[in-house]
Amino acid sequence: MAKILVVDDERAIRRALTEVLEFEKYKVEEAGNGIEALAKVKKGAFDVILLDIKMPQMDGMETLERIAAIAPDIPVIMISGHAEVDTAVEAVKKGAFDFLQKPMDLSRVLITVRNALDKSSLIVETKVLKTKVRKGKSQEIIGESDSIVEIKKTIDRVAATDARVLIIGDNGTGKELVARRLHRNSERKDTTLIEVNCAAIPSELIESELFGHEKGAFTSAHKQRIGKFEQANGGTLFLDEIGDMSLSAQAKVLRALQENRITRVGGEKEIKVDVRIIAATNKDLREEIKEKRFREDLFHRLAVIIINVPKLNERKDDIPLLADHFVKMICGEYGIAVKKITDGAKAALQEFDWSGNIRELRNATERLIILSDKEITEKDVKQYVAPNTSQSMNLTSLFEKHSTSKSLIEEVKSIYENWKSQ
């Protein structure tokens, strides 16, 4: 629900605007002057502000300037009387979204507010896209350890072919980076890479997600849907966490790989597709086959080339390079100067047990950037990065061990104090 701030010293105008906007299902707050408006803007985010020009204590022009300093992305609509039209036009030149002239036409009010909300949404979307672009530019495999060098060589040899690849590795090791490098170095690099997280899609929806469906195929199928196989036609389809796919979906994927054809859910027409498949999993698929949770024939179809991505604990020599990379990337995302990370800090990071792998290291680096001063030191690492697995608290066992919350809290305090003293 969009949140709108109405600022006017005339209570009757504020109430009239509030009633109209609330009837349109907007959430509305009021302010009687510029000082009160600024206080509200500092406390919470608004999607649009309606601001009167002529007010006591602080007029609309000064309020507009101060809002622009606090929250420059909020569209501000100026409210002007007949004698203030020139001032309102000047306000628009200085960054106001638009102006409304008293007495206000309610239809014009609603149209202007909707247009301002559209602008607000576009600003948010643009920021998200810019962040994605910045992150996308840094999606390289970082490391010079023997295992990473071998993975890069394998990718370079395999990428030019259409061979199916199965990427195996724990969560957070960077399996998706391997998939993207395979696509980027392939003959299909100018086509689409479609990613599907099989673990995030409910089993009853996975077939529709992959193969699409026809209108009326099931209760909520109100229109035809194109599935991921069709979207990736001519390009690459990355099936992440394929070990979590249902057996019925596995059977359909197997058929698609054998015949290069798919059929939408609820449809009869076979659709020819040209898709390169890259799959990834954090599970032992051979064990899943033994437990009859994964099809052996599908495994052999997928595993033409197997790339095993090592845990971070198995490539700790790469941690200094990864730390430097994350510092530059995260500081760039925040728009701040790059902080230096000392050699002592890098050495301290290498001492930890990274059960969460590269994802955990990235999060720790972001924490250090936020909490440290001009540079990241060994002391910062010891203070702000969680203790390693051998020192950490197993909360499940602690809860089982203690019958009262008081004794649990005492042991947690004791563990924390012991860790701090080390």
Portions of the chain given CATH number 3.40.50.300 = 146-310
pLDDT 10s digits, 15-52 = 999 999 999 999 999 999 999 999 999 888 899 999 99
Tell me which CATH homologous superfamily contains domain 3-133: Response regulator (3.40.50.2300)
Task: Report pLDDT for 388.
Answer: 44
Portions of the chain given CATH number 1.10.8.60 = 313-384
Which residue reads 């199965």 in tokens?
166
- Least confident window among 123-127, 282-286, 354-358, 408-412: 408-412
pLDDT 10s digits, 91-105 = 888 889 998 988 888
CATH architecture designation of domain 313-384: Orthogonal Bundle (1.10)
Within 10 A of 272 (CB to CB), how many other CB atoms are there?
A: 9
Give the pLDDT band (50/70/90) at residue 222: confident
Q: Which residues contact 79 (CB under 8 A, 6 or more apart)?
A: 8, 13, 50, 51, 52, 53, 60, 99, 100, 102, 104
Encoding tokens for residue 51?
Answer: 């601001």
Contact predicate 319/343, CB 8 Å:
no
Q: How far apart are CA 302 and CA 310, in angstroms?
A: 20
pLDDT 10s digits, 54-106 = 998 898 999 999 998 888 889 999 998 877 788 888 888 888 999 898 888 88
Portions of the chain given CATH number 3.40.50.2300 = 3-133
pLDDT 10s digits, 143-152 = 999 999 999 9
Q: What is the mean pLDDT of residues 151-169?
A: 96
Q: How far apart are CA 351 and CA 335, in angstroms?
A: 30
Question: What DSSP letter does each residue of 296-360 carry, written as one string?
Answer: HHHHHHHTTEEEEPPPGGG-GGGHHHHHHHHHHHHHHHHT-PPPEE-HHHHHHHHTS--TTHHHH
State the chain's mean pLDDT as an integer. Answer: 87
Whether pLDDT at 422 is above 60: no
Give the pLDDT band (50/70/90) at residue 393: very low
pLDDT 10s digits, 366-382 = 999 999 998 999 999 99
146-310 CATH choice from 3.90.1150.10, 3.90.550.10, 3.30.420.40, 3.40.50.300:
3.40.50.300
What Cα–Cα distance (Å) separates residue 197 from each residue in 239, 240, 245, 284, 287? 6, 5, 10, 17, 21
Backbone angles phi, psi at 139, to 5 degrees: -90, 55
pLDDT 10s digits, 328-359 = 999 988 888 999 999 999 999 999 999 999 99
Q: How far apart are CA 149 and CA 169, in angstroms?
A: 16
User: Which one, of 67, 62, 78, lies nearest residue 8 by Cα?
Assistant: 78
